[in-house]
Amino acid sequence: MKEEFKVISELINEKSRVLDVGCGDGILMEYLLKNKVVDARGLEISKEKVKKCLSNGLAVVEGNAEHDLKQFPDLSFDYVILSQTLQAFMSPENVIKDLLRVGKKVIVTIPNFGHWKVRLDLLFKGEMPITKNLPYEWYNTPNLHMCTIQDFYNFCHNKGINIFKTISLNGQKTSKITSSNLKFKNLISELGIFLLEK
């Protein structure tokens, strides 16, 4: 089980209604169904992955978050999850706005472009960084809008989005991110996990 999913699961109350946006092959949904007895729905763009989810009996709908979140009514989910997908959207700002409309709480996880290895890659090699979480070349990456934990933190602050909790994930290690340790955590975290509310 991905460490990230354990952290997400701990943020979620039992028996709540959850929408996993970009649910992939449904591993997180299955994990939440088992451990938190949630009522889970998924939205996924890849036909192959949707078929896999449906084969496992999951309530997953094929669609693109940039167009298809519309169909979900306001505050119709207790939690909406967006795991490592924000950077791939044409308009991350609009997607976040829609997530906050649909979900009472929103969990967003971000592959951190501020990690020291990423910074060193660019500084010493002068090449676009390729890491475990960001394995693409510049010319074939689906990631249009990379950001750092600090960037996303600033974004929420500027847009008046409440951040309830921020968690750093570095390998297997999790730790809390606060405004006082943000600069440092932005350097050592591979992943930032944010719990948001409008």
- The residues that touch another protein, with contacts defined as CB under 8 A, are 17, 41, 47, 50-51, 53-63, 71-73, 76
Burial class of residue 183 (count of CB atoms within 10 Å of its CB; 0-12, 13-18, 19+): exposed
In the complex, the smallest distance separating the C-beta of residue 77 from another protein, rounded to whole angstroms, is 9
Comparison of 30 and 121: residue with beta carbon closer to another protein: 30
Comparison of 41 and 185: residue with beta carbon closer to another protein: 41
Separation between Cα atoms, residue 195 and residue 191, nearest integer Å: 13
In the complex, the smallest distance separating the C-beta of residue 54 from another protein, rounded to whole angstroms, is 5
Separation between Cα atoms, residue 10 and residue 120, nearest integer Å: 33
Separation between Cα atoms, residue 64 and residue 156, nearest integer Å: 23
In the complex, the smallest distance separating the C-beta of residue 15 from another protein, rounded to whole angstroms, is 13
Comparison of 78 and 121: residue with beta carbon closer to another protein: 78
Separation between Cα atoms, residue 191 and residue 168, nearest integer Å: 6
Using DSSP's 3-state secondary structure scheme, residue 55 falls into: helix
In the complex, the smallest distance separating the C-beta of residue 46 from another protein, rounded to whole angstroms, is 10
Q: Which two tokens stand for residue 130?
A: 């390729």
Comparison of 35 and 175: residue with beta carbon closer to another protein: 35
